[in-house]
Chains A and B, each alone.
Chain A
Amino acid sequence: MQLEYSIEGGDFSHAGFASSQVKRVLKQLNVDPKLIKRVVVCLYEAEVNVVAHAYSGIIHVLINTNEIVMKLVDKGPGIPDISLAMQKGYSTASDKVREMGFGAGMGLPNIQHNADDFKISSNVGEGTNLEITIKL
């Protein structure tokens, strides 16, 4: 089963739409609530990242009986130093974003912590790709 959502950069008021929809689907599929929680944490953090940093993005969610794979592909400035971005507390978020309660520098580390498999690649000036896998 495949689901697809688009994200618009800067649209914080709709951040969380995809994770909430995916949550609804997983509940219907009788996925363990504890796993749903992890999926929602990962996807929400990843969504907010795209909203906060990129211009636009697409989310693909693949669901089968073994795993849930979430791919986020964005068009944006990209991440120059991924290892730095993976450090807890490191953030390039603007003051405006921080004022809205985002940008604490916990996003990517939190995703990695909750995912069974996590891949990230980025091209500066083009965008960032995430692949988050949660095993069922």
Chain B
Amino acid sequence: MDKRELHHVLKILPEVCIGCSNCMRVCPTHALRISNGKAILYPNRCIDCGECYRVCPVNAIIVEQDDFNIIFEYKRRVALIPAVLLGQFSEDVTTDDIHTVLIQLGFTDVFEVENSADFVGEYINKYLADPDKPKPVISSFCPAIVRLIQVKYPALVDNIMLLKPPLDLSAMYYKKMLMEQGVGEEDIGIFYVTPCAAKIAAVKSPVGEDKSEISGVINMDFIYNKVLKVYKNRDKEYEALNRETACNPKNLMWSLTNGEANFVKAKCLAIDSLDNAMEFLDKVENQEIGDVDFLEIRACDESCAGGVLTTGNRFLTVQRLKSFFNDEKANFDDDKANISICNKYRDYLVGRISVEPIAPRGIDKLDDDMTKAMKKMERINRIMCYLPGIDCGSCGAPTCQTLAEDIVHGRAAISHCIFLQKTMEQIPMLNPSHSFRIMEKIWGKERFQKDCSKAKTYRIRR
């Protein structure tokens, strides 16, 4: 088991949280509960997917990011930008504009994450050719999926591809290039503009490697606002800088659905969104899927275009990137397109492309000791006989099954169930004022008071 403490980048601000339970209902690993009128997180269950962040109506869930000013601790400040950043803007904002704004903000260099995608693609094919690797090989690209497999599908950790994603390779490439130009390693700061929370978690507590190549992370919505501000306020003197190098266009689609699969020569499937991922991983775990060599799985619908920190509509982002891809392809030198820029440091990068085996950290076990686990399971099954089975969430747990598990683990009581409260009041085993206090304890006193602001707070979900 991984002994390092897990770093979660999603934080709940209790002073802002109104305990509406939207987050609890969408969490794919049942990591959230409501207690005292606030959402609480069970850290060992969280996979940093950010689904809770998406649905919070009052922005009580935040994604931690580094203070922007830490970039100035380095002499060379490299912004690593993913292609989906470009897809956030309408077509009149060009890559040159984004580049210009990033330089104005204080970066010295701008480099596209996807620059190493073809190189990684080549090594995925080599990896798949190894008969000793358990099939289907599951891509390690999406950190939320890697974490999902660790906690929910521990039997499949050996199927996770032990290769670093383009983000790490591009960071290593750029660092190496600067060092060859005589820049000291300690002077190089590499900052990733991230479309999602899971990528931040992957940088802050990487799985399968000791330390990430990335010095810091900047949320995409922050850069989005900065770019638009500069762009909208540009005056006559504004002149966009020219990009010195352009990313190979065939690499640009990597983070979209099928982006990786398109590089893979073996039999592969591309799956996006957590529901689809879980449905399919369940089948893989049941040994129902034969005959597939590679699975590209991403947690967000439309892959990184649907990242929780993106601002643009994911379908528009995909469309913009596709049309950008077509324009770039026409301008890009064919000879150049077939050679990865990573070739320059091939040996250096290949020596660093692998990650260590990934440890399972299953969350479904009821107890380490099997005899105790069996006793607990029997108790859960008995409790389930009495619970209504409608998963209403009034107890502060997302499903009847999770309430039963919480009861057995001593984290909840059977009287938290509103149906059982009614039954107990009938017998009478429970005093109505006591049952009222129980509900107040779960949902907070305010939830029981007249409040006309709900129509406003419960705005339409993003």
Whether A associates with B in a native complex is yes
Q: Which residues of B contact A27 (CB under 8 A)?
A: 154, 362, 364-365
B285, B371, B377: which contacts A23 (Cβ < 8 A)?
A: B285
**CB of A100 within 8 A of chain B?**
no
Task: Evaluate whether A44 and B378 lie within 8 angstroms (CB atoms) in the complex, with A30-B373, A33-B154, A34-B155 already known.
Answer: no
Q: A16–B367 contact, CB under 8 A?
A: no
**CB of A19 within 8 A of chain B?**
yes
How many whole Å from B153's CB to the nearest CB in chain A? 9
How many whole Å from A14's CB to the nearest CB in chain B? 12
Residue of B with least CB distance to A29 = B373
Task: Evaluate whether A1 and B286 lie within 8 angstroms (CB atoms) in the complex, with A37-B155, A65-B371 already known.
Answer: no
A interface size (C-beta, 8 A) = 22
Task: Evaluate whether A36 and B287 lie within 8 angstroms (CB atoms) in the complex, with A20-B282, A29-B370 already known.
Answer: no
B interface size (C-beta, 8 A) = 23
Q: Which residues of A contact B282 (CB under 8 A)?
A: 20
Q: Which residues of B contact A44 (CB under 8 A)?
A: 286-288
**CB of A83 within 8 A of chain B?**
no
Bound-state Cα–Cα, A27 to B377, Å: 11
8 A Cβ contacts from A1-43 to B: 1, 16, 19-20, 23-25, 27-31, 33-34, 36-37, 40-41
Task: Evaluate whether A40 and B367 lie within 8 angstroms (CB atoms) in the complex, with A1-B378, A25-B377, A63-B374 already known.
Answer: no
Residue of A with least CB distance to B360 = A33
Residue of A with least CB distance to B365 = A30
Q: A41–B287 contact, CB under 8 A?
A: yes
Q: Which residues of B contact A25 (CB under 8 A)?
A: 377
Q: A40–B370 contact, CB under 8 A?
A: no
Bound-state Cα–Cα, A136 to B370, Å: 11
Q: A33–B362 contact, CB under 8 A?
A: yes
Q: A29–B154 contact, CB under 8 A?
A: no
**CB of B366 within 8 A of chain A?**
yes
Q: A30–B287 contact, CB under 8 A?
A: no
Bound-state Cα–Cα, A41 to B370, Å: 22
Residue of A with least CB distance to B155 = A33
Q: B287–A37 contact, CB under 8 A?
A: yes
How many whole Å from A136's CB to the nearest CB in chain B? 8
A-B interface, 9 closest residue pairs, ranked by CB to CB distance from nearest: A33-B155, A30-B365, A27-B364, A29-B373, A33-B154, A28-B366, A41-B287, A65-B370, A20-B286
Measured CB to CB, the residues of B under 8 A from A are 154-155, 157, 282-283, 285-288, 360, 362, 364-371, 373-374, 377-378
With A19-B286, A33-B362, A41-B287 given, name 9 new contacts (CB 8 A): A23-B285, A23-B286, A25-B377, A27-B362, A27-B365, A28-B364, A29-B377, A30-B365, A30-B366
**Can you list 28 residue pairs at the A/B interface with Cβ under 8 Å?**
A1-B374, A1-B377, A16-B283, A20-B282, A20-B286, A25-B377, A27-B364, A28-B365, A28-B366, A28-B373, A29-B365, A29-B366, A29-B377, A30-B362, A30-B368, A30-B373, A31-B370, A33-B154, A33-B157, A33-B360, A33-B362, A37-B287, A40-B287, A41-B287, A44-B286, A44-B287, A44-B288, A65-B370
